[in-house]
Structure 1
Amino acid sequence: MVTTEFVQKTKELIDSLKGICASHGLGNDAGEFKIITQVFLYKFMNDKFAYEIKKLDSNIAQTDNWEKAVAELSPDDYEMLLLQLAEDTARLKPEHFISYLSTKQNAPDFAKLFDDTLRDIAITNNDIFSVKTEGGSKITLFDRISETITDESKRDVFCRAIINKLGMFSFERIFNEKYDFYSTIFEYLIKDYNSDSGGKYAEYYTPHAVAKIMAAILVPSDQRGKIQNVTCYDPSAGSGTLLMNLAHAIGEDRCTIYSQDISQKSSNLLRLNLILNNLVHSIQNVVQGDTLLTPYHKKGNALAKFDYIVSNPPFKTDFSDTRDDLDCKENNDRFFAGIPKVPPKEKNKMAIYQLFLQHIMYSLKPNGKAAVVVPTGFISAQQGIDKKIREALIKRKMLAGAVSMPSNIFATTGTNVSILFIDTNNKENVVLVDASNLGEEWKDGKNTKVVLKPSEEKQIIDAFNAKSVIEGFSTVVPYSDFEEKNYSFSASQYFDIPIEYVDITAEQFTAKVENYSRNLDILFEESKAIESEIKLMIGKISYD
C-alpha cells in the first residue's frame, strides 16, 4: 500500500472513531478529544510493537498470526525479547493486543476490560511515556475512556465498536515514513481540537509555513546533518508543531526536546506528536505548568539554558492573578524590560508575550539561537516594554533579524504577526524582511487565511539566510543604524527610496524654473485677493 493510501486509510480510521463518538452522544464533546487521541495512540503503539518484534524474531515475522506466536513464547523468551526492544516502543503483554480484546468483546463488562487494558499499558510504560507536572506528578498515557459515556449500559457497545474499527488495517508498513507523513496525520487528527477552549495560554497549532520558515532559518540547509547533541526548548509549546519542525531540521536523533505549557491538553498533544515523530526519548522533558511563574527546567538552582528556542507564545491574556508574584527581585534579570501593568479595563489584553520573549532571551546559551512569533506591533512600538526589549537586542548584539508576515497567516486571529530571530553569535548586520504582500487568500471554515506558496516560503528563507538586499522586500541593516530609527525592526523604514534622475539641457532647466516662478506669482496674487475678501467679510460681520 503506497503512502497516500495509508494517509487515506488513517484519516478514515480517525473519521470512523469520531463517528462512533457522535453516535454515542459525544460529538464535539470535551471527552471526544481524549477518546480519539488515546484510542489512536493505542492502535499506533500496538502496531509499532508488532513491527519491532517481527524485526527481532524472524520466526514471528514469518507466521500468519504473530499475536499467537508471541503468546506461546516462554516467559523467559518473552522477557528477553522485550529487553531487546528500543526504548521508544511500548512494552505490551499478549493480553494488551487488539486481537486479544477482539476475542473478548462479547464478555460481560467488556468496557471495564477495555479500560483496564489501557490503564495497565499506561502503568507498565509509565517511566517512558508519562508527562510531568511542575509539581512532579505524572500524567499517564491512558485514562478510563469508557467512563466518558454517562449511560453505563451503553459502555460495552461503545468499546466493542472501537475495538472492531482498530483491527481493520495495520500501520506496520508505514513506520519507516518520515516527518512529512506523520505531520499530515497529526494535523488531521487534531484539526477539530486545535483551538484554545478555555486554556490560559498557548494555541495548539502553528501554521506549517510559519514553522517551516522558522526551522529553515535557524538551521540552514548547509548545516543539516552537522549539528550534534543540542537542546531545543519551547516555553509555550502547545501541540509542538514548532519543535517538531526544528527537530526534523536538526535530526530527531541529534537533539533533545524540552518544553513547558500551562495546558494539560496541549501537553498530551505534544506527547502524541513526540511518539509519532521518533522523539520518545524527550517525553520525560515535557512539563505541564506555568513557565513564567514556576519555570521547571533548571540546572542546579539556575534556570536551564538551551541551544535552540522556538515559540509562538500567547500574545495577550489576563495574568493579573500572578502579575505581582512575577514582579520580584528574583526575576529582575529575567524580566529586565519590565512586567506589564494590569489595565483598569480589559485585563485579558495584558501583553504576556513580552514576558515570554524576555524569558526566551534569558534562557539562551551563549551560542544560542531562537525564533519567536510576535505581534507585528512589537517591531515598531515607540515606547514601553516592547522598545526596551528591542533596544536590548541591539545593544547586546543578539538580533539576527525579523520577518513581517502577511495578514491572516493565522486564520483564527486578526493580529498581524512577525517572526523575530535571535542569534547570540550575530555581531554584524541584521536582516529585515517585509513579506506582508505575499500569499493568497483561502477560506478556512468561517475564517479567511493567507497561505504562502512553497516558492514564497523559499523566497523568504533564501533572502534571510543569504542576507540579500531586494528592493521593497529585504534589507540588511548595521547595528549602528537602529538607534536613529528608534530601534524599529520594520524593514520598510530601512528601504532605500529610489530617486529618478532625468537628463535635461541648461535651456530646459531655465525654462522649467521660469515656469515655476510664473505659477508662484499667480498663486501669490490669488492668495492676496482671497485675503482681502476674508478681511472684508470679517469687517461686515463686526459692523453688523
Structure 2
Amino acid sequence: MTLENTIKTKTLIDDLKAVCAGYGLGNSSSEFDIITQAFLYKYLNDKFTFQLKKAKPGLTKGKKWQEQLAKMDDDEYRLLQFELESNAAFLFPRHLITVLFNRQNESDFAQTLDDTLIDIGQMNSGIFSVTTEGGSKIQLFDRITEFVKDASKRDDFARAIINKLVHVNFEEIMEEGFDFFSTIFEYLIKDYNNDSGGKYAEYYTPQAVSKIMAAILVPEPENNVTIYDPSAGSGTLLMNLAHAIGPKKCTVYSQDISQKSSNLLRLNLILNNLVHSIGNVIQGNTMTAPYHRENGHLRKFDYIVSNPPFKLDFSDDIDELKKKINQNRFFAGIPNVPEKAKNKMAIYSLFLQHIMFSLAEKTGKAAVVVPT
C-alpha cells in the first residue's frame, strides 16, 4: 500500500497548494503556514479516529458512528482519552473534519474552521506546544483563513480547504514507517527549499546526508539515549538519527532561532512517533541563550548532530557571548576580529565548540555538516 498511500498523500498536498494559489497565496510564506497546518490537522484528525477504532471497535462500527459519538455524555467521552495512545491529539466530535464538512454552508464558516483549529491547539497544548527560550508556548495552529486578506473570500477559502481534506482517508498511513513519512515530509516542503538554499533552505538537510551521518554514529542501536541538534531546522538530521536508534529508545532535544523551523520540527516529530519529545523543542538563539539544562548546568547529550546556520550572521552577538555565563562553553575564548566576514567564521568556530562542550563525557558522539 505504500506507493498508493504516497500518491494519495502527495496529491492532497498538491490540491491544498492549488487552493492557496486560487486565492492569491501561491509561493508565499502564508501558503507555507496554511499547507503545513492543514496537513497536520488532517493527520491528527485521522490518527484520532484510527486509534479510537482500535480502542473502541464496538463504538465505531457503522456509517453513523460519529453521530453516536456526539451523543455521549461529556464525562463519559473524556474517559476515552485514557484508552488512547498518548501520541495522538484528543478531539471532540465538533473538531472532526466530517462534522465541519457538514457545517460548511453555515454563515461565518471561516471563523468556525479557525475556532476549531485554535480549540484543538489549546486542548492539546500540554504535549504539542513548542517552547520559546523565554518560556512562551507556541501552539499547534493559527487562524489560517485570516491569511486571505479579502474577508469576503474567507468562507469560500475555508470550504475549499475542508473539501480537499474530507475526501482523503489517512487512516491507512498510520502504520507506515519512517521511509514513507520522510518522503512525504520532503515533498511537503520541497517548494520552500529550492533555488540552492533560498528562503526556507535552513529548514532541511538532504535525506542522503542525514542517513549517512546516522549510519556512522549508530552502528548498533542503544537504549534510553539523548540526541540533540542546536540548530535543528526541520529536524531531518534528528529524525534519521532517531530512526537508527529507535523512536522509543531515545529522547530528542533541539533548539533553533527560527519559529517556522521549530514548527516544522514539531510536525516531523508527530509524523515519526516522537511526540514525547515535543516539549524539548525550543525556539531561541542557541549561541546567546542555550536552553537545555540539568542540575543548573548545560545538559550533556549522548549524540549531537547539526547542520550549522551558515547563513546567519552572529556578529552582533559578540558582546553577549563575551559574558561569563556564555564564555565557559568556549575553550578558545571570544576572538576580537573586527572584519564582519571573519567574525562569521569565528562564530562558526564557537558554534562547534558549543557542540563539543555539550557532548557527554567520554561516550558522547557528534556529526556536523561542514562547508566546502
Please report how far the alpha carbon of residue 323 of structure 1 lies from its aligned counterpart in structure 2 after TM superposition. 1.0
* Aligned residue in 2 for 1:370: 366
1-structure distance, mates of 2:264, 2:178: 16
Which stretch has the larger CA shift, 321-330 or 26-35? Answer: 321-330
2-structure distance, mates of 1:317, 1:278: 31
* Aligned residue in 1 for 2:284: 289
Please report how far the alpha carbon of residue 157 of structure 1 lies from its aligned counterpart in structure 2 after TM superposition. 0.4
* Aligned residue in 1 for 2:351: 356
Contact 1:309–1:370 (Cα < 8 Å) also in 2: yes
Q: What SS is found at the alignment partner of 1:203?
A: helix
Q: How many residues align?
A: 369
1-structure distance, mates of 2:343, 2:333: 18
* Aligned residue in 1 for 2:248: 253
* Residue 211 (1) aligns with residue 201 (2): no
Going from structure 1 to structure 2, the CA distance change for 1:312 and 1:27 (only over 3 Å counts) comes to same
* Aligned residue in 2 for 1:244: 239
With a CA cutoff of 8 Å and minimum separation of 6, indicate the structure with the bigger relative contact order: 2
Contact 1:96–1:121 (Cα < 8 Å) also in 2: yes
Please report how far the alpha carbon of residue 347 of structure 1 lies from its aligned counterpart in structure 2 after TM superposition. 7.3
* Aligned residue in 2 for 1:136: 135
1-structure distance, mates of 2:343, 2:22: 37
Q: What SS is found at the alignment partner of 1:135?
A: coil
- Which structure dedicates a bigger proportion of its chain to helix? 2
Q: How does 1:56-455 map to 2 (within 5 A)?
A: 56-194=55-193, 203-220=202-219, 223-224=220-221, 227-315=222-310, 317-344=312-339, 346=341, 349-366=344-361, 367-375=363-371, 416=372
Deviations 1:76-124 (A, max 9, x none): 3312212211111101010000011001111111000110000000000
In structure 2, list runs of 5 or more residues that go unmatched: none
1-structure distance, mates of 2:246, 2:326: 34
Contact 2:288–2:326 (Cα < 8 Å) also in 1: no
1-structure distance, mates of 2:103, 2:170: 23
Please report how far the alpha carbon of residue 197 of structure 1 lies from its aligned counterpart in structure 2 after TM superposition. 6.1
- Return the TM-score normalized by structure 2: 0.95
* Aligned residue in 1 for 2:52: 53
Q: Output the amino acid matched with 2:50.
A: Y
| Identity level (%) | 63
Going from structure 1 to structure 2, the CA distance change for 1:345 and 1:177 (only over 3 Å counts) comes to closer
In structure 1, list runs of 5 or more residues that go unmatched: 376-415, 417-544
Larger radius of gyration: 1
Contact 1:315–1:352 (Cα < 8 Å) also in 2: no
- Which structure dedicates a bigger proportion of its chain to strand? 1
Going from structure 1 to structure 2, the CA distance change for 1:123 and 1:205 (only over 3 Å counts) comes to same
Please report how far the alpha carbon of residue 340 of structure 1 lies from its aligned counterpart in structure 2 after TM superposition. 4.8
Please report how far the alpha carbon of residue 69 of structure 1 lies from its aligned counterpart in structure 2 after TM superposition. 3.0
- Return the TM-score normalized by structure 1: 0.66
* Aligned residue in 2 for 1:13: 12
Q: What SS is found at the alignment partner of 1:60?
A: coil
Going from structure 1 to structure 2, the CA distance change for 1:215 and 1:160 (only over 3 Å counts) comes to same
Contact 2:321–2:327 (Cα < 8 Å) also in 1: no
Please report how far the alpha carbon of residue 344 of structure 1 lies from its aligned counterpart in structure 2 after TM superposition. 3.2
Contact 1:55–1:61 (Cα < 8 Å) also in 2: no
Going from structure 1 to structure 2, the CA distance change for 1:77 and 1:21 (only over 3 Å counts) comes to same
* Aligned residue in 2 for 1:409: none
Deviations 1:227-250 (A, max 9, x none): 111111000000000000000000
2-structure distance, mates of 1:345, 1:72: 65
Contact 1:132–1:286 (Cα < 8 Å) also in 2: yes
Going from structure 1 to structure 2, the CA distance change for 1:182 and 1:66 (only over 3 Å counts) comes to farther
Contact 1:306–1:364 (Cα < 8 Å) also in 2: yes
Q: What SS is found at the alignment partner of 1:260?
A: strand
Contact 1:109–1:156 (Cα < 8 Å) also in 2: yes
Q: Output the amino acid matched with 1:9.
A: K
